[in-house]
Each structure stands twice: as structure tokens, then as C-alpha cells.
Structure 1
Amino acid sequence: MENEGDKTTFMAVQMEKLVHHLETMRIAEYVELMERPARVIFLNFVAGISRGLGIAIGATLIFAIMLEFLRRLILLHIPGIGNFIAEVMHIVEMKNGKF
């Protein structure tokens, strides 16, 4: 009899741990989300737009900072480096159709 009581207590404790673990994983919210595919599509669409804008803005800022750095490096008139950077910038501007 005591053995059955211990097993029942053990099972109750294990079930409580399982329930707590599932609650921390937010399984119920995930299942609810999966039941509404339109919501999943909308969330993925918004996430994709956010990532795309973030990449575009980040790349623009990085390239603008690099370009400003190169222009300031040219103004220092360091032999060899200044001419090389000026040539690279001239090639880039030709490819972009500025010349």
C-alpha cells in the first residue's frame, strides 16, 4: 500500500514538473498560433519586411561611413594609398553612371 502511495506522489510531482515545463515553453500559445495560418503568414510577412528594411538601412549606413572614411583618407594625401583609393572611387562612380 505504501508503495502505491509513493508511486502516486511521484507521478503527481512529475506531472506538476511537466505542466510547469510546458507552461514555460508556451506550448499552448504556439498551438493556438498554428491553428490560425493567416496569422502565421501575416507575422512572417511583417518579420520579413522588418529584416529587409534593417539590412537595407544597415548596409547604407556602413557603406556611407566607409565612403566618408575613404574620402577623408584621400584628403590626407598619403602617397600610394590616396591614389589607389581615388582610382577605386573613380571606377565605382563610373559604374554608377556619375561620369
Structure 2
Amino acid sequence: MVRVKLDNDPENDLKDKDKADNETMERTLSRLDMRLSKIATDMERTQIADYVDLLNHPLRLMWRNLLGGLSRGVGIAIGFTFFAATILYVLRIIGALNLPIIGDYIADIVRVVQIQLEGKIY
């Protein structure tokens, strides 16, 4: 038996349309799946779950911020002390060289710092 396709056959048009719709839907779902996989991977990489968990426990967040602030403050204090001691040491060495203008200026600075360290009023 030979079937002849008629241009106006509604049954064949519906089948072709359904097939095209299914292919379009499959492509759309495939793209959506790829995007969702990428979003899930990015969220795992940024550890968003840990961040949300931290936001849900405000006491833990405050404790971590307190410890972080104390650590930074102590680090800055130690660093500045080391830096200032190094500068004063270098100034004393330069002052001991008795350079005419620079030596007097540096000697005055060292004298002021020593007086301040001893607690005397300048």
C-alpha cells in the first residue's frame, strides 16, 4: 500500500509540529541543565552554604570578628613597635656619625623620644 502525503493532512502536520516542539524542549532543557550545573559548581566553590550557616549563627559571627579584630590590633602594635625601634636605632647611628646638620636634627629627635619614653614633660 502506498501512502501519499497530502499538503493539507492535519494529522501529519501535528506530528511534525510535536516532533519539532519536543526537539526544542530537549535543547532548552539541556541548556537549563548545563546552567544549573554551572551555578551549583560555582556555589560549592564559593562556599555559600558555609556563609549562610555563619549568618544564621550571629554569636559565632561576632566571636570570629572579635578574634579577627584583636589579632589585627596586636599585629599592628607589634609591627609599629618594631618599625619605630628600627628607625630610632638607625637615627642613633646616624647621630653618632656627627654629621653637621643632620646629626643635630636627629639628636634632637632622639632626645625628645627618650624624654617621652621616660615620662618627663618636654
Unaligned runs of 5+ in 2: 1-21
Q: Which protein is bigger by CA-based radius of gyration?
A: 2
* Aligned amino acid, residue 24 of structure 1: R
Cα distance in 2 between the residues matched to 1:34 and 1:52: 24
Shift of 1:94: 2.9
User: Which residue of structure 1 aligns with residue 54 of structure 2?
Assistant: 33
Alignment TM-score, normalising by the size of structure 2: 0.76
For structure 1, which segment, 79-88 or 48-57, has the greater mean C-alpha deviation from structure 2 after superposition? 79-88
Alignment TM-score, normalising by the size of structure 1: 0.93
Work out the percentage of aligned pairs sharing the same amino acid: 34
Whether 1:94 aligns to 2:122 is no
* Aligned amino acid, residue 55 of structure 2: M
Query: Between Structure 1 and Structure 2, how many residues are aligned?
Result: 99
Unaligned runs of 5+ in 1: none
Which digits, 9 at most, give the CA deviation of each residue in 1:10-34, with x for residues without a partner? 1101100110111111110000111
Give the superposed CA RMSD. Answer: 1.4
Runs of 4+ in structure 1 deviating by more than 3 angstroms, as ranges, are none
